[in-house]
Amino acid sequence: IVPPELLAPAANETLVLALGSRIALNCTVRWAATEHCEPVSSWTKDGQWLGTPSLSRFGQNASEHLLATVLQVNLTHDADFGVFACWVSNATATFTLRREEAAGHVSAVLAALMVLALLVLLAGLYVRCRLSVLLWYRNRYGELEINDGKLYDAYVSHATAPDDRKFVHFIVKPQLENRYGYKLFLDEQNILPNAEPSADLIMNVSRCRRLIVVLSVAYLEQDWCNSSFREGLWRLLELSKKPIFIVFESQYREITHPAISLLKQHRNLVTLLVWRAGSMTPSSDFWKELCLALPRKVFFQGTMGDPQTQLQEDKDPMLILHSSYLDSRGDPHPDGDLGDPFEPVPVGWGGQRATSPTPNPSPQLLPGLRGYLFRGPPPPHVSSLGVAEIDISDLGSRNYGARTDFYCLVTEDDI
């Protein structure tokens, strides 16, 4: 006995259909004409017999016979889906019907929502951490402003009002100098008398890398702010690179001064910062924006003084912060010098020699020249006769961070 040959389906089929659809499952077999017994077709669903098919067709010729059986299936309920099998003698064909999800784009919608949520999260992180990232990048890869001959990082101009003084001296100055290491030049004078920069202003601003103006209500009462602020702004732009203007939020909303409108129009030329109620916190955006507007600060480990001076290898002892010069002691031998005949002659302040005689006289140094002739200088001593001539009352306010003058040691024979 030759078993029937299955013509359709060629393999087990899996169909994904929507709920409420209708489908006809077709199963076709072929067998030899020599077989006298006609095969009988039947269908099962999930192993349960369904009985005779709804439609069967026979075909034959001299050599073979064909049988096509069709099962009509209405998919109106979830129970109508399953595994349908067609049985013809010992030949079997399987149809697997699966329900199509009602929301076919659920996965795509979920993926889109996840991407949108990620973008919102990144946008929030950017808004919150943008200044910190920019400040980190600037401090790591920003342009260095050294060896430019500047003595200060910023020139701070403010009004003489008590509130402005407190803001500058007790908030801005301690924060920038103690926390960030900047050096500030504070000035409460009118920087543009008669709408023209004074000689002192030009000199002082030229020694600073940035210009900061505390633009309070008291500051706007100056003549140049009321009469010619536009011209004064152009003068400041000529003197300093992108000046920084600080305004107070409480006054910023109430001020109708044309200077504020002018600064808003030229935001690309100036930096306009608003001091808000939460700006007192050291980690607030105000300080980050201010540091971004200021030059990149360079810190050298193991060195003291301004990097400009250190890189130029200026050996002036006045540039050493912990110099032993101020450790003034009296002459250990007031009656005469009993030291080594080859001991170098100490030179006091202003180039005057100590009054103790030496067995072997050394070449006398000219007044105003400092140093020693034979070897490296030990800690200098100041005689008791010269103590009254030394004025050290302003040593604490002097700036020895950077010097541009130079010194040369000569003797009388060299002249």
- Say what the pLDDT of residue 83 is: 92
- Say what the pLDDT of residue 316 is: 43
How far apart CA 124 and CA 127 sit, in angstroms, is 5
User: Is residue 58 scored above 80 in pLDDT?
Assistant: no
Query: Which strand (E) or helix (H) includes residue 60?
Result: strand 55-60
Interval 209-227 mean pLDDT? 88
Residue 332: closest CA among 288, 294, 378: 378
Residue 60's pLDDT band (cuts 50, 70, 90): low
Q: Quick one: what percent of the chain has pLDDT higher than 70?
A: 66
Residues pairing with 73 in the sheet: 23
How far apart CA 287 and CA 132 sit, in angstroms, is 11
Residue 55's pLDDT band (cuts 50, 70, 90): low
Q: 372 versus 19: which is more confidently predicted?
A: 19
How far apart CA 31 and CA 41 sit, in angstroms, is 13
- At 381, which amino acid appears? H
CA distances from 317 to 50, 124, 150, 352, 406 (A): 109, 53, 20, 17, 12
305-337: pLDDT as tens digits: 555 444 444 444 444 444 443 444 445 554 544
Q: What are phi and psi of 350, to 5 degrees?
A: 80, 5
User: Is residue 221 scored above 90 in pLDDT?
Assistant: no
* Strand order from edge to edge, sheet including 208-214: 184-187, 152-157, 208-214, 244-248, 271-275
Query: Any idea where the domains of the chain sit in the sequence?
Result: 5-99, 152-293, 305-415
- Say what the pLDDT of residue 412 is: 60
329-360: pLDDT as tens digits: 445 554 544 444 444 444 444 444 444 444 44
User: 5-99 maps to which CATH number?
Assistant: 2.60.40.10
Query: Which strand (E) or helix (H) includes residue 273?
Result: strand 271-275
Characterize the bridge pairing of strands 55-60 and 5-8.
Answer: unpaired
User: Is residue 378 scored above 60 in pLDDT?
Assistant: no
- Say what the pLDDT of residue 54 is: 58
Residues 6 or more apart whose CB falls under 8 angstroms from that of 130 comprise none
- At 122, which amino acid appears? L
Q: What are phi and psi of 44, to 5 degrees?
A: -130, 155
- Say what the pLDDT of residue 210 is: 93
Cis amide linkage into residue 307, ω under 30° from 0: no
Name the token pair of 154: 């910023």
- Say what the pLDDT of residue 292 is: 93
Name the token pair of 210: 């940035």
Name the token pair of 380: 């200098």
Most confident of 50-54, 313-317, 390-394: 50-54
95-117: pLDDT as tens digits: 999 888 765 577 888 899 999 99
238-284: pLDDT as tens digits: 888 899 999 998 887 777 788 888 888 888 999 999 999 889 898 89
Residues 6 or more apart whose CB falls under 8 angstroms from that of 34 comprise 2
Residue 293's pLDDT band (cuts 50, 70, 90): very high
Residues 6 or more apart whose CB falls under 8 angstroms from that of 58 comprise 38, 65, 66, 67
Q: 303 versus 237: which is more confidently predicted?
A: 237
Residues pairing with 88 in the sheet: 41, 91
Q: What is the DSSP secondary-structure string of 132-184? A: HHHHHHHHHHSPP--SS--SEEEEEE--SSHHHHHHIIIIIHHIIIIIS---E
Q: Can 5-99 and 152-293 be said to share one CATH topology?
A: no
- Say what the pLDDT of residue 1 is: 55
Ramachandran area for residue 237 (φ above 0: left; ψ -120 to 50: alpha; else beta): alpha
| pTM greater than the 0.95 cutoff | no
With 0-12 / 13-18 / 19 or more C-beta atoms within 10 angstroms meaning exposed / middle / buried, residue 379 is exposed
Name the token pair of 78: 């979830």
User: Is residue 302 scored above 70 in pLDDT?
Assistant: no
How far apart CA 159 and CA 275 sit, in angstroms, is 16
What superfamily does domain 152-293 belong to in CATH?
A: Toll/interleukin-1 receptor homology (TIR) domain (3.40.50.10140)
- Say what the pLDDT of residue 330 is: 47
116-173: pLDDT as tens digits: 999 999 999 988 888 898 999 998 888 888 888 889 999 999 999 999 999 999 999 9
Q: Quick one: what percent of the chain has pLDDT higher than 90?
A: 22
3-state SS track over 380-410: CCCCCCCHHHCCCCCHHHCCCCCCCCCCCCC
Ramachandran area for residue 63 (φ above 0: left; ψ -120 to 50: alpha; else beta): alpha
Mean pLDDT, the chain, integer = 75
